[in-house]
């Protein structure tokens, strides 16, 4: 697949909007299944297993949820990269 003007522009717009999203949001709260998957991949502290005692406890207590706080610079980097890529797409030659 060859990258042409339209693909560069679209990729730049997606990066730009993703950067805006990271600038407007302070943190993301993952649901229970995403938290378990993250702990499984990252091999961090163990999250409760799905056994009988844990299931009984989970009905009474809140489920484990992870809060992810992206760094401030990430939004700026994505905004800059998206803007530069979109502007670069404007000067590329049109596909013939």
In a domain, 96, yes or no: no
| Domain hosting residue 83, numbered range | 5-91
Q: Render pLDDT for 41-72 as a digit per residue (tens, 0 to 9).
A: 877 555 555 566 655 555 555 566 788 899 99
In a domain, 29, yes or no: yes
Segment 10-30 shows an average pLDDT of 93
- The pair of three-digit structure tokens given for residue 54, joined into one six-digit string: 């844990």
Query: Which pLDDT band, with edges at 50, 70 and 90, does 18 fall under?
Result: very high
- The pair of three-digit structure tokens given for residue 94, joined into one six-digit string: 């049109």
64 vs 88, higher pLDDT: 88
- The number of domains in the chain is 1
Q: CA 9, CA 83: separation in Å to the nearest integer?
A: 9
């Amino acid at each position: 697949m060859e990258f042409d003007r339209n693909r560069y522009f679209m990729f730049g717009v997606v990066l730009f909007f993703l950067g805006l999203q990271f600038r407007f949001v302070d943190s993301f709260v993952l649901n229970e299944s995403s938290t378990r998957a993250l702990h499984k991949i990252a091999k961090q502290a163990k999250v409760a297993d799905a056994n009988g005692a844990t299931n009984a406890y989970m009905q009474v207590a809140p489920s484990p949820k992870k809060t992810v706080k992206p760094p401030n610079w990430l939004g700026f980097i994505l905004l800059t990269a998206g803007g530069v890529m979109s502007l670069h797409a404007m000067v590329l030659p049109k596909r013939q």
